[in-house]
Each structure stands twice: as structure tokens, then as C-alpha cells.
Chains A and B, each alone.
Chain A
């Protein structure tokens, strides 16, 4: 499944994410918006950065809830 995802798919999805959550994504990945515009996106180095966004987004998705539901609260006490 993963092998079937094309580079262009990742690029397109990333573009959509940037449109939906520009400040959020850009503040998390600390990269200038220009890196994701124009032909830079065809650069392999930038592709790695794009993949890193997904990592960040997945990480970010963790605390999307504040925790009204006790069972879903994030417990990190192992890292004390």
C-alpha cells in the first residue's frame, strides 16, 4: 500500500494541508512557505521535508483533544 503512494500524491496532499492549516503547519515545521511553492517541490531534499510534515502532523494529532473524556487524556508520566 505504502509503496503505491506516488511522490506526486504526497506533494498534492501536502499542498492541501498547507492550504487548510498554513500557520499551524508552518509554525510546527519552521520552514518558510516559499519552500513548498513552485518547483522546489520536485526537489528530493524538499520531499524529505514534506515527509517530515506528515510525521509532525501525526504527532500533532495526539493532543487535538483537550481531554473532556478521561480515557483519552494523554499520559506522559513515564517520561518524568
Chain B
């Protein structure tokens, strides 16, 4: 029987861990799953254990030399000098024991999500351990070693001959995926992120539109720092709807970084829980409208692991399973269980209360700038539409 959705998880995914003080902390997976269990929103049969991606699968995107370097680094057999050439051993992406196995496992999880959806065993699939969008062909960057989304897109192309629409709502530009398919007209990427003016990786300009045959299949919407819910959602809804109508994909892959929230310590946006409820809602609706429901979702960034990520990522699962119990108080047993482990006060409700931040003085200016950015980014689609008979 076809399931509404499957949830990829095993405790082994928590082994993707740089060190105790690194902001990328996969404990958020455990916190999210536990929140869903406490909310009685997930059954054990919905949870699928990830498999490890093979070298051949990793090499759909990654250079064999890089894969080998990651293996050696994880065994402590790669010199720091050589590691640096592969982006390994840096402050952002330090070396940790068995890093190849941990990274290949989360890639395998995303590939499994693809198989479940494309073979019709599930309409939707969620792998929150994935979404490592800064991984490059031969280089690690920005907390990402292997780029599970890029490998998955290539896999979807080769195994299922699918046209893939990749939607990236992480606060950082989805550079690794963009550059991997920059000249490919069968993959369309949209990244909505905080402008690279002040934020890593610095790319994601509106004018990065693809090249060669892939021209006009890359879209970037860099929003201003301090962007709030309404302006962010306007950019998201407008661009997603126009791009999917233009590209007509077979399947949607969404990257769901949860770092656009005001509380996030690494970024400078001013979004609240409202956007994280709306993001999967529109993806779900459009997946059914254009792709027969085929929707694969992965995680991504998100560095306030207590107050933001568990709620934000639970919304994706609740939406995938048509569960409308997504407002009001959070389960008391979840709060009690985890409050002892953090000095941060855990949220009491699914939504954020009003006024979690001081009013943004430049709200109007930021909203206007973002609206103009959306218009410029979508200009090729709109111009093409108005020119056609």
C-alpha cells in the first residue's frame, strides 16, 4: 500500500558530528523525532533506516580523489596540508573519525527517499539528516562534506530520467547544488537566501542564472538582512509558483534549512515559525498540482537546535501526513524531557508569541528591495511569457 510519507532515520545519523562546540549539531534530529513521537504524529512503521551510499553513487557528483581523501581523513591518515586542498580540516569543516561513513550514510538516506517516492511506495519522503548543499565536486565547505542533494538529483536523472526542481530555503545560498547543475536544462534550482553581502558563501546573486543550455534554469532570490515573515513569504510564494509553472518538473526536492529564524545565531534574518509552517504547505500543494505528489524533502542548516529546528522540521512531517494538529501548546512531556539539558527556555507552543524581536526600523525599505529582487530574478520567465503569442 502506498504510504503518505516516510521518515528516514536511525541513531547512526548522529555520528555526523564535528566536535562538541561546532554549531552543526545533529542532536536536532533526535529532538525533532522525539517531538513528533510526543505529539503522537509518527508511527514506528513510518521510520525507514538509511542505507549507506556506495562509492559509485557518491561519484555521480564527487571526484574519486575527494572521496578517497574523505576516507583517509576519517581514518586519521590524511596530512593537514593535503586535507586543506579538499576543504577538510578547516574551522568550518573539521576532520572527525569515520567522517566518510557518517557522510555517506546521510547521502544514502536521501537516495532511499528518492527510491521510495519514484517507485510509488510513498508519495513523499523526508530525510532531515540531508540538505548539505555546500558540498562541491572535490571540496568540503560550510559544514558539508558530501552533497546529498546533488548526488540525489543526478541519481533521479540517471535512474528515473526525471526533471528535478530543487527549492532551497536555507538562509545560506545553495551554492553546491547550483554549480553542479549550472549548465543542465533538466534541473532547475531556486535558492531564497540572505544576501551574500554579509553572509557565507557570498554567492547567490540574481544574475547567476545558469550557463549554456542551462541558462534560465537557475534562480536566486537574495533577500535583505532583517527580512521578516510577510516579505519572505511573498518572495517564496511568487517565485515557487512561477518557476514550477515555467519548468514543469517530474519531482520536487526541497532543502529545508531552518536558519532563517530570528533566533538563529549564524544568520541575520527576522523570520518566525510562521514561514516554517507555510514552506512545506506550498511545496505539498504544488507537488500534487504538478508532479503527482512526488516530493522529497531534506533538512539543512538550523543552529538554534532547541527553540527553532524541532518545531520547524516537525511542520514538514505534519504537512506531508496531512496532520493539521500544528498549533497550540507543545507536548508537555517533550518540554519536560529536554528542558533539563539546556539553559535556553524551550518554547511552549508551536507558534512563536508576538513580539519576539524589536520592530525593524527599515521594514518598508527592506520589503520594497525584496519585491524588486523577486521581479528581477523572475524577469526571464515573465519576459518570455509576455513575448509568447
Contact = CB atoms under 8 A, between A and B. Distances in A.
B266 A73 contact: yes
A48 interface: no
A25 to B, nearest CB: 11
Contacts of A24: 203
A60 B173 CA distance: 14
B384 to A, nearest CB: 21
A64 B91 contact: no
Interface in B7-27: 18, 22-24
B218 to A, nearest CB: 10
A76 B200 CA distance: 13
Contacts of B196: 60, 63
Contacts of B23: 67-68
A42 B199 CA distance: 34
Nearest to B301: A66
A67 B143 CA distance: 9
A63 B91 contact: no
Contacts of A23: 179, 182, 208, 211
- Classify the interface of chain B: helix, strand, loop or mixed: loop
B82 interface: no
A45 to B, nearest CB: 21
Given A66-B134, A67-B266, A27 B205 contact: yes
B198 A76 contact: yes
Given A74-B198, A76-B225, A76-B268, A66 B172 contact: yes
A61 to B, nearest CB: 8
Nearest to B23: A68
Interface residues of B, number: 36
A67 B370 CA distance: 25
Contacts, number: 69
Nearest to A56: B202
Nearest to B361: A80
A80 B205 contact: no
B92 interface: yes
A31 B346 CA distance: 49
A63 B202 contact: yes
B22 A63 contact: no
A80 B358 CA distance: 11
A78 B56 CA distance: 48
Contact of A68 (B143, B199, B268, B361): B143
A23 to B, nearest CB: 7
A59 B205 CA distance: 14
Contacts of A63: 196, 198-202
A79 B365 CA distance: 13
B263 interface: no
Contact of A69 (B91, B134, B207): B91
Interface of B: 18, 22-24, 90-94, 134, 141-143, 172, 179, 182, 196-203, 205, 207-208, 211, 225-226, 265-266, 268, 360-362
Interface of A: 23-24, 27-28, 30, 59-60, 62-69, 72-74, 76-77, 79-80
Given A65-B91, A76-B268, 16 more contacts: A27-B205, A27-B208, A30-B207, A64-B200, A66-B141, A66-B143, A66-B200, A66-B201, A66-B266, A67-B23, A68-B23, A68-B94, A74-B198, A77-B268, A80-B226, A80-B361
